[in-house]
Structure 1
Amino acid sequence: MKSSIVLCLCAMAAVSLPASSRADTSSWDAKFVDPHPLSDDLKLPLPCGGGMVFRPVDVPGGDGVLDDTEITVGRPDTADGYNQFIRRTYLAAPFRVPGHPELRRYYIAKYDVTENQYAALSGSCTPPTRAGQKPRTGVSWDEAVTYASRLTSWVLAHQASALKIDGTPGFLRLPVDDEWSYAARGGMRVKPSEFTAPLWSMPDGGPEAYIAAGPDIGEMQAVGQMKPNPLGLYDMLGNAGQMMLDPYQLNRVGRLQGQVGGLLVRGGDFHANPEDLTTNIRVEWPPYNPKTAQPTRDAAIGFRLVIGADALGSLKETQEAQNEFDALFHKATEASGDTQAALAALKEQSQADPATLAKLARIENALAADGRAREDAEKKTFGAQVQALVALGNDIWEVNHAIETIRKTQAALGTLTAAQTQQIEKHLADRQKELDATTEGYLGLLEAASSSPAIKDAGSIIAVQRDGLHARGEDYLFGMLALAQKNLEALRDRKMVSAKDVQAEVAKISSQ
């Protein structure tokens, strides 16, 4: 089975490859391929010795064919609501992450496609230039899709292994809106509480250091001149607008409206007011210019590519998808057993009435979908509870550390006046109250999380939390995550967890 994206790319693959696109041409200088190299970059070859660099984007969810994760995109206020209002959507990725079965990943280009990279498929093998490091703009959507198709065909013909990632064959295409939104916001490299913010954290100079836009910029820049987002992606906002593979759709208060519109462009460009550019910015462009009767081309709109793959790469995966669907459907219908039993009895009584049977089947399927949605929500809530347990555990550590510091300082000071002693004792009493209150909050949340139906999936959910901490450079919280898991397992096994236990365990972590 092939997705519409793959069919679109295959249709474009009939375009002939440039005759002189050799794979053995001397390589470009690194500054024309990747001005800011990172150890986990993925590099694809281009004709004429060129290259294109991609960044991995990890997506939590699970190792099943049907697993995905819910994300929230858009802005919560209603300004420009028909266009940018907040909505929930679902994202999954095709490539496995070795050693992390709970994660999948896709790859998105680190930079916009440049003039140099676009020209590399022309067959002329003209050496790259500094001027050619600007984004390739002024191309139509069809030409961008064709470029992705031709480059896929060239790589497959000259270095097919470069597009086979962990055993899964990939291909190049434009990103879809949800992929772009997730990557632009920082994916797993930002905290869940920060993911919905209009901009990622920009500590080194603020937006003017990260976004190429406004009167101070004045013109299109070479790629990679600004600072990157948390995923190491450059120019996600400003410089050149970026075309999406999927078309523009309106927002019908929390979901996409059904009408398919024109071209969808994300990220804004250098003409924009920097204050107006956020990861929510969406613009519709007509695909054709009625004045010229030609496809729309704009000098401020370019594109970047994604490495994707088939949703079902084999008959085995097709069967796995069906098996997973059946298991999910069965689990969802089990959750509403009494209602399902009543429906089954009604179906028995209505064998001669096809219209009634059809209505009952629709009700049954709706109940199953509701059950699946409820299970997804339970898992998401449990994940949030685990995050909160880690945060509270760290708060306990900090208060406990403050108490220890006060006591050590008191001992080091030696003889104190009565007033000084009283003041220190008051500080200690206040901190102890804070410690006890925080610990009680931890225990209450622990009790609620241990009662969640999602506790049966605690292992995989906690593994995702660990991956998120590592992605954000918060490995120092691993001890708190392990403590939360240990406490949850204890309560699940009907063992007691006391405030004294929690504080003692935190003390051990703080002494490591």
Structure 2
Amino acid sequence: MSDLRIGAAALVLTALGLAGCSPADGDDQPKARAEAPAQPQAHPQPQAAGPVDTGKLDNPKPLPGDVSLPLPCGGELVLRSVYVLAQGSLDDREISLGYPFSEGEAGYKQSFISGYRRDFINGQFSLADLAPQWRKAVAPLLPNVEAGSPLKPMMYFIGKYEVTARQYAQVMAQAQALADGDVQPACQADTSQAGRLPKVKLSRFEAERFAAVYSAWLMKHHRDLLPVSGRGSSAEDGGVGFVRLPTEVEWEFAARGGSAVSRQELEGRLFPRKAEGAEGDGPLADWAVFNQVAGGTGQAARLMPIGTRLPNPLGLFDVIGNAAEMVQESFQLVHAGRRQGAYGGFVVKGGNYLEGEGTLFTGMRREYPLFAADGTEQRNETTGFRVAIGALSAPRSRYQELFDQWQKEGRLASLTDDIDAAQDPTKRLDSIIAATPDPRQQAELGLVNEELKRSVSLIARQREEAAGNLIQSAALVAETINNYNIRLTNLSNTQAQAKASGDQTSARMYGAAIANGRAALDGAVAIYIDNLASGARYTDAVIQAQFQQVKEELNRKPVLGNSLMARATLFVRHVGEYRQNRRADPATILKELLASAAPRSP
């Protein structure tokens, strides 16, 4: 038997070994409550909710960018890609989770449960790691990364819908056959309403057993369709994707809208809900199944089939309401803006169909015990799950890439172009430590060097964010310069008209306004050049990486964003020239800024 088949069988046998616990009804009525919604924008344009096509049981609302994996008996499990612009596998993006409750605000007393905290996100797969059909579907949704940029989209994949009762039964029916190597069981057609509902009333262990059995079935029958971290390397490299529950960070980043929304929208209480023809958010009831009876009594509220509402900006359905959803890791409280160090029960996200609208927000979370009071596995009638595709974080094919990135971490040469990498003081300290004969002194110096590198890494992250802010603010200064110039042109024309009509008093008044305007214009150009000097203090790699991030943000602002994109592009070019020449001519800068504002022919 091959290592692959042994591994697959072991996965399933381990899963089956946990089966057999008697079911128990868990109480999923949360004790603590939170509140309200907010914010806008969308990625695939949501389509109006309508009746579910029973011919599309597994994907009732197809969208551009959908990818899928086969299910037993001809079904499919549909997923959406979530990307993060990063320099590679070791890089990540800092994001906000939860909600920053203020004192006196409803929900403030549960800030230690769902309060504001910082975390980090990255994907495990690049475009090259995907099977051809996935690559073709996903590529149009990814940003165009210019040559020379150190960033690339790193992706993970998460279920478009909650796993349905029908899908769960199809997969779990394969468990015994996979473990024993027997023929697959006969398929049972299930097009019932109940089969299209999210699978609920299952334990966290059963959700993980589903992932184990499905992974084993895919690796046995459809391994070539799974993403592979480091595709093209040997089959035993360890980077083959597998099915698992999403982590809480993966779930919440995707539920908030991921890279399909702006940074401000990403931190809103609820994802943007753009309704055609409306200025603000559409009613949450168009996007979520929840209890709409005042007071949240649960009357007239019920679980609904997948895909009956509109998708969030990433194309995910039912992330708020309907079935609440389990995630992979154990529950941790919130302490001082981070996750606290003790681990509890399992985490449930998104709220459920019995919740009232005032309690629903993207960062909400609940904690439930793994076991009921009688010792059986905890099962809740309102809790289900969706899946994600993961892989090893450090498959052998990525070792060199990870090591190279790790070596650069904490190096002073990453902060400024003035330090040659070979002359980096942290590297010189490495050499001194290696040459030190006293083991105690060597250990002490090693601790000092590690602390130095940690501090440099922190400074580097802060500088990267500051560089992005600098590019955006410089683009705004350039926009201001153009506005000043338009005003000066209008004043000059009006002054000429006053002179032509013999109105000397008005001409003098306009002359004073023109003098003030020119002073303001010259001051703005000086500020712009100061920004160039500041930008030149960053390495070109930092500027290019942050420029890519800024472009992502500006692309979501169709009117002002187009103009600011041209300004930001010119600013980055000017920074490169300033770094080389160590000077900038104000007249030349002004001429180029005004030329960049000229309307371009289509």
* TM-score w.r.t. length of structure 1: 0.81
The structure 1 residue matched to 2:446, chosen from 361, 369, 384, is 361
Q: In angstroms, what is the RMSD of aligned CA positions?
A: 4.1
Note the C-alpha offset of 1:486. 1.5
1:288-307 to 2 correspondence within 5 Å? 288-290=371-373, 292-307=374-389
Q: Does 1:119 align with 2:143?
A: no
Bigger CA drift: 374-383 or 93-102? Answer: 93-102
Answer yes or no: is the 8 Å Cα contact 2:535–2:543 preserved in 1: no
Note the C-alpha offset of 1:366. 1.4
CA deviations over 1:65-116 (Å, ceiling 9, x no partner) = 3222222223234523312333222222111136745221111111111122
Unaligned runs of 5+ in 2: 1-6, 17-52, 103-107, 129-143, 146-150, 174-186, 232-238, 276-281, 294-299
Closer, same or farther: CA 435–301 of 1 in aligned 2, 3 Å: farther
AA in 2 matched with 1:92: N
Q: How many residues align?
A: 487
Closer, same or farther: CA 50–448 of 1 in aligned 2, 3 Å: same
Structure with greater contact order relative to length (CA < 8 Å, sep ≥ 6): 2
Note the C-alpha offset of 1:475. 6.0
Answer yes or no: is the 8 Å Cα contact 1:47–1:125 preserved in 2: no
CA deviations over 1:176-217 (Å, ceiling 9, x no partner) = 111112112212112223322222222322333323223347
Answer yes or no: is the 8 Å Cα contact 1:378–1:454 preserved in 2: no
Note the C-alpha offset of 1:48. 1.3
Q: Name the structure 2 match of 1:325.
A: 406
Q: Name the structure 2 match of 1:155.
A: 218
The structure 2 residue matched to 1:236, chosen from 319, 333, 351, is 319
Other structure's SS at 1:70 match: strand
AA in 1 matched with 2:399: T
The structure 2 residue matched to 1:86, chosen from 107, 113, 116, is 116
Closer, same or farther: CA 298–33 of 1 in aligned 2, 3 Å: same
The structure 2 residue matched to 1:104, chosen from 124, 130, 154, is 154
Q: Name the structure 2 match of 1:211.
A: 288
Note the C-alpha offset of 1:436. 6.8
Q: Does 1:34 align with 2:59?
A: yes
CA deviations over 1:411-447 (Å, ceiling 9, x no partner) = 9xxx9998xx99x979x97998987776665444444
Q: Aligned partners of 1:280, 1:115: CA distance in 2, in Å? A: 26
Closer, same or farther: CA 435–173 of 1 in aligned 2, 3 Å: farther
AA in 1 matched with 2:265: E
Q: Does 1:45 align with 2:70?
A: yes
Bigger CA drift: 91-100 or 134-143? Answer: 91-100
1:394-413 to 2 correspondence within 5 Å? none
Bigger CA drift: 472-481 or 239-248? Answer: 472-481
Closer, same or farther: CA 68–213 of 1 in aligned 2, 3 Å: same
Other structure's SS at 2:95 match: strand
Q: Name the structure 1 match of 2:584.
A: 496
Unaligned runs of 5+ in 1: 1-6, 17-27
Note the C-alpha offset of 1:272. 1.7
Q: Aligned partners of 2:206, 2:450: CA distance in 1, in Å? A: 42
Q: Aligned partners of 1:270, 1:394: CA distance in 2, in Å? A: 48
1:260-299 to 2 correspondence within 5 Å? 260-290=343-373, 292-299=374-381
Note the C-alpha offset of 1:301. 0.8
Note the C-alpha offset of 1:252. 1.6
Other structure's SS at 2:573 match: helix
Q: Aligned partners of 2:310, 2:446: CA distance in 1, in Å? A: 54
Q: Name the structure 1 match of 2:98.
A: 74
Answer yes or no: is the 8 Å Cα contact 2:162–2:306 preserved in 1: yes
Q: Aligned partners of 1:116, 1:394: CA distance in 2, in Å? A: 56
Note the C-alpha offset of 1:370. 1.1
Q: Aligned partners of 1:56, 1:257: CA distance in 2, in Å? A: 30
Closer, same or farther: CA 148–287 of 1 in aligned 2, 3 Å: same
Q: Aligned partners of 1:106, 1:490: CA distance in 2, in Å? A: 38
The structure 2 residue matched to 1:462, chosen from 547, 554, 557, is 547
Other structure's SS at 2:344 match: coil
Note the C-alpha offset of 1:244. 0.7
CA deviations over 1:6-52 (Å, ceiling 9, x no partner) = x9997456558xxxxxxxxxxx9553122222221111111111111
Q: Does 1:385 align with 2:409?
A: no
The structure 1 residue matched to 2:460, chosen from 371, 375, 395, is 375
AA in 1 matched with 2:257: G
Answer yes or no: is the 8 Å Cα contact 2:433–2:446 preserved in 1: no
The structure 1 residue matched to 2:270, chosen from 199, 206, 211, is 199
Closer, same or farther: CA 358–241 of 1 in aligned 2, 3 Å: same
1:124-143 to 2 correspondence within 5 Å? 124-143=187-206
